[in-house]
Each structure stands twice: as C-alpha cells, then as structure tokens.
Chains A and B, each alone.
Chain A
C-alpha cells in the first residue's frame, strides 16, 4: 500500500518535470495562434502571425542565413569530425588520452568564452592581414569549431562499438584501402553520420551567443533577429517564429536520435 503510494508520487513527480520543461514551449505555440495582439489573453485561433511572417523580409533573410550557416557548417564539421573520430579510433591504443580530452574541451567550454575568443581572433586577423572580417564565413568557421567535437565523438563511439576484426576481415577479403573506405567504413558509419549531421545542424540553428559575436552586420540569424526584435517588445510574431523553430529543431533531433539508435543496434 505504502509502496504504491510512493510509486504514484514518483509518477506525479515525473509528470511535473515534463510539464516544467514543456509548458513554456506549449504556451508559446498556443499564443502563436492567438487572434489577439496581446499575450494577456487568448482571443481565438488565427494564422495571422504566420501570414505576417511571410511578408517580413528581414526575418526571411535571417531564416535564410540560419539555414545556409547550419547546412554549410554541419557539412564541413561532418567531414572534419569524421576524420578526427576515425583518427582517434585508429590511435586509441597509443598514449593519446590527452588529445581526446582536448576534443572534449570545447563541449564544456561556456559559449560566451568561446564566442568572445573567436571574435577577438577574427578581429585580429582582420586588422593584421585584412582577411576574415565579420561575415557569414567567420560564423561558419566558428560553428564548425564547436560542432566538430560532437561529430568526432559520435563517429568514435561507433567505431569503438564495432568488432575490430571487421577491419581485418575487409583487408582479408581483398578490399584495397579505398575499397575499405567505400564498401566498409562509410556504409557501417552511415547511421552515425546522419545522426551527427542533424545534431550539428540543431546545435547551429540553436546557437545565439557564438553567432552573435562572430556575425557581420548583414548576417543576422534567426536567434539574433529574435533577440533584436524582443528588445523592441514581444510581438506575437515572435511566438510564430519560435513555434516554427521548435518544430524544425524537434524534427532534426528526432532524426538524429533515430539514426544514432539504429547505428547502436547494429
């Protein structure tokens, strides 16, 4: 009797936690469909804020910037991170633990530190050599640097989970180094690569701090645009943008999760 009461209270606690996490998001989604101009009351269902979004050129530019930045940085991070992950696996037996710790460091580094360092670095380059002034390029580089460790670790953990004799079996079955990459490594890695790409993309779309410090005046991304817009007061339009972002990030996260699961099942 007492035990079941305890279990019920645990279940209750669980649902409270879920509510705590998701209610604010729910409120935003709800008010994005609000017919009224104010967030004080709900005046009925409307798509007017979504319609308004479509006519907002600044916002569409920001959305475009976000997508270009997200895709470009994720693709670059995927290539470099995969190579690093493979290298970490190949040399795991040597005493390179500190190198692997080095890969973890950017993950735990506060974004603000990262962003300011990147900014200082790019400004110096710009001043001394006249290259890499704040632009989409600097943002892509900055994003790639924080995405790489995530990609490398996903790829590395996939390799560690494989039977090491598979690499030897491929050699034994006449596969040249190129054929081993093409017919063994890449297909085996595929689910992990898809997962890593979508994780990197989610991180990029989500990022505000690092983008903020490395962006040029023309390169506002959605988070930067929203931040600017909110300073002028919260408009229900922001709720509509936020809802769309929640949706797209959720989709990317689910895809990443599904593929990571598949790669672990094999």
Chain B
C-alpha cells in the first residue's frame, strides 16, 4: 500500500469555509461568432452543488471558463468569496477545474499529477506528500499513486483529475462535463460519488453538463442556459415540474406541449380539447403553451373524480421495463403517457382508452 499510515480520514477541505460566487452582467462574444454570453446575472451560494445545464453552444462552457479565468468576459464582474476576480489570471485564483478530457500531465505519475498544484503553490514536500496521501485515500486511489497516467482506465483518470483539483482545497471546484466520456454504469456510480464528496467537503461545486438527468440527480440548484442567456434557475424539482418556458420544458425531456388556442372563463382550449386548470389562468396568461408531463397522464376506463377526461386511441407502446410509454392520439393530436409497470394489464395498439388529467397538473408556460 502506498497510503501512509499517518494520513487522517477527514480531508482538510471540510474545515474550510466555502465561497459564494456572484456574476453580474457577464457578456462574452467571440471574434466573428455569435454571442456566447448575453448578460448573465447569477448568484451561486457557498457550499452549493450548482449545475449549468444546456445544449452545446448555449454558453455554459464559456461561463465555466470565465469562472476559471481561462476566458475573460467582455463586460460584467465576477466575484468569488467576496473578492472581485474579474481580471485575475487563472494561476492566482483559488479555483480548480476538472476538465472534460481530464488533462492529466503525461510526463508525470499519478501522485506527481495530484501534487502538481501544491508544488506550484510552494507547499513543502512533506506536507505535499501527506495531503496527496490523504486525498488519495479519500478518493480511493491509493493503489494507483505510482502508476503512469497512460496506464489508467477512464474512470481512474476521472478520479485522478478530481483528486488533483480537490487536493488544492480551492474556494470553488469547477467540473466541465467530467463524466461524459464514461459508460453509463460507471457514470451513475460516479454521479453519486461526486455528490457525496461535495457534501462531505462542503465545497462549492459548479458542474457543467448537457445531460438533464445527471443535473437533476446531483444538483442543489440548476441553471438552464440557451443562447448565452439563463432561462431558469432553481432546484431540480422546480425546473423539472415548473419549467418557465417551452425551451426549458423540452430540454428537461417534456414532450406534451400544447399551444393555447382560446380561454373561456376557467376553460382553456388546446388541440387536445377543452381543459380545466387549477388555479385558472390569469388574464396575462392567455397566450403560450400548456405542459402536461407524461407521468401525470392517467389511463383507465373511466374519468376519475375532479379530473379532466379525454378519449384517445393507443398508437404505439414502448416497453421500458420499469415503465411503459404510450403514444396516444386524441382529436388527431399526439399525447405521450407513461405508466409505472406495476403488473397491470397493458394496453395494446388501437385500444380505446380514457385519459384523466388533474387540473393542478397542467402548467402554463411562455412559448
């Protein structure tokens, strides 16, 4: 074993106070290209697991690079832990990054890679070794310390990159899609490990991903970005269940969006037919779209009490093991429905079904 017997179990990072981040009016435009960031205002709380979520080209990576100091904003200010660091070069910021490609130095062993940041900061050899051993034990890397980085698997590289950043005990840890190169099983495992690590250290994590499931599993709060603009910020359940607009809804995986055609008293007309909402729409909400999440659509032979009732035909059935997805057609409009697989009888294609939707489960969004 390469782990020194003196290494304690508690990582030092846990002792340190976490830092908050404030972004104020950040703008960035690349030469000749479209706008990468178009006025981003955001506060990330100390000790939070915060995720920047969006499709490629939405500006999330640019934002992360500005936090790291690898990119300078054209306009706006960035404050980390109460200090304005807008123009501070990366090597003078107490911020470390886990890169998507991991960026491990090929000329150094695993332990030398992990010690790199401490060495550059001038931490004495003894302390360096102790801290490397401690973090290696914490991240479960002990047996790999003397290896070359070319001898590691993808998951091991990811761990080394994480250890290399964590050992510096930065104010903020940035993670740039660190799991995207791994296969699904390992990814799920590392998602849980990362979240656990963050909670144990109490450090501020800023995580970038395009995978909404990953974002929801790990984050305290999520910011959804599109075209360099933050669309919505909130905890996972809020972003998922109450998306602010059609973009966020679609990005979170929702497919049942219906344009509002008319509003009459408490009844809203859409392509599906007339629906009752609770609470009813306010005057200002008479345009936009309605979201009906797949999993709130109930299928049966009769309309449940107090529900909206619709008649439909099953067009497709997708068996997913733990759940079954149906593509229904109602008034010539497609409605997707998901039912948990509890051993009930499955509907077949062309079956007529009665659809029940509770008025509280219908959400109005901006188009």
Interface residues of chain A, those whose CB is within 8 Å of chain B, are 163, 165-166, 168-176, 179, 183-184, 187-188, 190, 266
Check A165–B103 contact: CB distance below 8 A: yes
21 A-B pairs with C-beta separation under 8 A: A168-B70, A168-B90, A169-B104, A169-B105, A170-B116, A171-B69, A171-B70, A171-B90, A171-B91, A172-B69, A173-B91, A173-B117, A173-B120, A174-B121, A175-B91, A175-B120, A179-B120, A183-B116, A184-B105, A187-B108, A266-B106
B 93-109 contacts with A by CB, 8 A: 95-97, 99-101, 103-108
CB B284 to nearest CB in A, in angstroms, measures 46
CB A139 to nearest CB in B, in angstroms, measures 36
Check A169–B120 contact: CB distance below 8 A: no
The residue from A165, A169, A172 contacting B95, defined by CB atoms under 8 A apart: A172
Interface residues of chain B, those whose CB is within 8 Å of chain A, are 68-70, 89-92, 95-97, 99-101, 103-108, 116-117, 119-121, 150, 164-165, 168
The residue from A168, A174, A176, A188 contacting B103, defined by CB atoms under 8 A apart: A168
Complex alpha-carbon distance, A29 and B97, angstroms: 59
Among all A-B residue pairs, the 4 with the closest Cβ atoms: A173-B117, A169-B103, A165-B103, A174-B120
A176, closest chain B residue (CB): B91
- Of the candidates A169, A175, A183, A187, the one having the most CB atoms from chain B within 10 angstroms of its own CB is A169
Complex alpha-carbon distance, A252 and B91, angstroms: 40
Number of A-B contacts (CB under 8 A): 69
A169, closest chain B residue (CB): B103
Complex alpha-carbon distance, A169 and B90, angstroms: 10
CB B8 to nearest CB in A, in angstroms, measures 24
B107, closest chain A residue (CB): A187
CB A95 to nearest CB in B, in angstroms, measures 12
With A163-B101, A183-B119 already in contact, the answer to whether A173 and B96 are too (CB < 8 A) is yes
A187, closest chain B residue (CB): B107
Check A168–B91 contact: CB distance below 8 A: no
Check A171–B106 contact: CB distance below 8 A: no
Which residues on A sit within 8 Å (CB–CB) of B168?
173-174
Check B117–A174 contact: CB distance below 8 A: yes
Which residues on A sit within 8 Å (CB–CB) of B164?
173
CB A94 to nearest CB in B, in angstroms, measures 11
Check A183–B120 contact: CB distance below 8 A: yes
CB A182 to nearest CB in B, in angstroms, measures 10
With A183-B119, A183-B120, A266-B150 already in contact, the answer to whether A172 and B105 are too (CB < 8 A) is no
Complex alpha-carbon distance, A166 and B102, angstroms: 9
Complex alpha-carbon distance, A169 and B96, angstroms: 9
The residue from B92, B101, B121, B150 contacting A165, defined by CB atoms under 8 A apart: B101
Complex alpha-carbon distance, A183 and B107, angstroms: 10
Complex alpha-carbon distance, A128 and B280, angstroms: 96
Complex alpha-carbon distance, A188 and B112, angstroms: 14
- Of the candidates B90, B108, B120, B168, the one having the most CB atoms from chain A within 10 angstroms of its own CB is B120
Which residues on B sit within 8 Å (CB–CB) of A163?
101, 103
Check B120–A172 contact: CB distance below 8 A: no
Which residues on A sit within 8 Å (CB–CB) of B97?
168-169, 172
CB A263 to nearest CB in B, in angstroms, measures 10
Which residues on B sit within 8 Å (CB–CB) of A188?
105-107
Q: Contacts A171-B69, A174-B117 known; list 5 others, CB within 8 Å.
A: A169-B97, A171-B91, A174-B121, A187-B107, A190-B107
Complex alpha-carbon distance, A172 and B161, angstroms: 12
Complex alpha-carbon distance, A176 and B165, angstroms: 17
- Of the candidates A166, A172, A183, A184, the one having the most CB atoms from chain B within 10 angstroms of its own CB is A172
Complex alpha-carbon distance, A175 and B116, angstroms: 9
With A174-B117, A175-B91 already in contact, the answer to whether A166 and B68 are too (CB < 8 A) is no
Complex alpha-carbon distance, A172 and B66, angstroms: 12
Check B91–A174 contact: CB distance below 8 A: yes
Complex alpha-carbon distance, A173 and B104, angstroms: 11
A168, closest chain B residue (CB): B70
Check A266–B107 contact: CB distance below 8 A: yes
B92, closest chain A residue (CB): A174
Complex alpha-carbon distance, A173 and B121, angstroms: 8
Complex alpha-carbon distance, A171 and B120, angstroms: 10
Complex alpha-carbon distance, A103 and B108, angstroms: 32
CB A141 to nearest CB in B, in angstroms, measures 34
Check B106–A172 contact: CB distance below 8 A: no
Check A172–B107 contact: CB distance below 8 A: no
CB A264 to nearest CB in B, in angstroms, measures 11
Complex alpha-carbon distance, A187 and B69, angstroms: 25
CB B365 to nearest CB in A, in angstroms, measures 38
Which residues on A sit within 8 Å (CB–CB) of B108?
187
- Of the candidates A171, A175, A176, A184, the one having the most CB atoms from chain B within 10 angstroms of its own CB is A171
Complex alpha-carbon distance, A176 and B117, angstroms: 11
Which residues on A sit within 8 Å (CB–CB) of B101?
163, 165
Check B90–A172 contact: CB distance below 8 A: yes
Complex alpha-carbon distance, A163 and B69, angstroms: 19
CB A163 to nearest CB in B, in angstroms, measures 5
The residue from B89, B103, B119, B150 contacting A166, defined by CB atoms under 8 A apart: B103
Complex alpha-carbon distance, A188 and B108, angstroms: 9
